[in-house]
Homo-oligomer: A and B are copies of this chain.
Amino acid sequence: MSEPTQPVHTTHTVGRTRVLTGAKPTSDLHVGNYFGAIRPAIEASHNPSNEVILMCVDWHGLTDRSKILEPGKYTAAVLATYLTMGFSLENNMIILQSEIPEIPEIAWYLSCVSAVGLLERAHAYKDALSSGKEPTAGLFNYPILMASDIVTFDAQVVPVGKDQSQHLEYASDMVRLFNNAVGRPVLFEPKPLIQSTPLLIGVDGERKMSKSYGNHVPLFAPKKDIEKRIKEIKTDSKGLDDPKDPETCAVFQILKSFGSAEAIEYMEQRLRTGTGYGYGHAKKDLIDEHERVFGSKRELYEHYINNPRELAQKLEPGHTRARQIAATVRQRVRDALNLGIL
């Protein structure tokens, strides 16, 4: 009989796969974030075979000393966005990392089995070094905190982009090192789900949509700001009646990232046919669709932002459940190390 490699008693919910997804609160969210991260997480929350933990990872946002006050500014926006856009709380949780003190505690245990060399080889750390920055210990320890996010919740599946796949390997390494050091399986080893996120183009029609490039379309800005931003989208010089290629049209690509199937099909056909449908018409349709999808929820979003107590109350059952899971895993780890007085 072979030794078990995973703990026998876990906090898992029968019939559901626990999926952990993180969202870093480092700026107001835009359509690119919605396309790449928010919508997939919301869809996952509606899959009855999942139990999704969507974690706003504010502690991860602190690792740049000069931007240490940023996460506190954007946390409510992240939480409110997922809630407003329809993340299902029925069998899932939206939680704030900094509400779970078990995470840094378990990170300490992981740090005691992880070689310094492992962290020195992390791509993100090496990139920071080679860019000439003086990295903080927080940046250096980032993979440990991320591994703790995962193991503190017995996460089974962690969807990540390719740029994060090394961190998932590290999490697996740390789980094995810890279980090995204490002589039995205590931490649950997660499965990575490496996803290739197709990038969304920005309003400059050139680069990936990103707040740092200033080429983004916000989600919940005032309507006139959205209109202005969409009207700025760079297009080619084809005339009103020319057939246009949706594949190279940033207006269409942005619509495709969040619009309804009908809106997408309509614009695609009108662009291809061309007749009487210029980029101005397409922008107008994009503005209308943005208003239908996001603008209609602007009031609800702002309500949450202005009433953080109500936001917190909505998320409280999830935090309660998450704290139970974290407390159980913490106790499992402490028992294995025989920590505590009793």
Binding site for B on A (CB under 8 A): 58-59, 62-66, 68-69, 71-73, 75-76, 79, 96, 98-99, 101-102, 104-105, 107-109, 111-119, 134-141, 144-145, 177, 181-182, 308-309, 311-312, 315, 334, 337-342
Q: Which chain B residues border A312 with CB–CB below 8 Å?
A: 341-342
B134 contacts A58, C-beta separation under 8 Å: no
A-B contact pairs, 30 of them (CB 8 A): A62-B109, A63-B112, A65-B112, A65-B177, A66-B181, A68-B113, A69-B181, A75-B339, A96-B340, A96-B341, A98-B340, A99-B341, A101-B101, A101-B102, A101-B104, A104-B105, A104-B108, A105-B105, A108-B145, A111-B136, A111-B140, A112-B138, A113-B138, A114-B137, A115-B136, A116-B137, A141-B141, A308-B341, A311-B341, A315-B341
Q: Which chain B residues border A134 with CB–CB below 8 Å?
A: 115-117
Q: Which chain B residues border A105 with CB–CB below 8 Å?
A: 101, 104-105
B59 contacts A108, C-beta separation under 8 Å: yes
Q: How far is the CB of A129 from chain B (nearest CB, A)?
A: 9
A181 contacts B111, C-beta separation under 8 Å: no
A299 to B145, CA, bound (A): 44
A339 contacts B72, C-beta separation under 8 Å: yes
A134 to B144, CA, bound (A): 17
Q: How far is the CB of A88 from chain B (nearest CB, A)?
A: 19
A338 to B62, CA, bound (A): 12
B342 contacts A308, C-beta separation under 8 Å: yes
Q: Which chain B residues border A66 with CB–CB below 8 Å?
A: 181
Closest-by-CB residue of B relative to A63 is B112
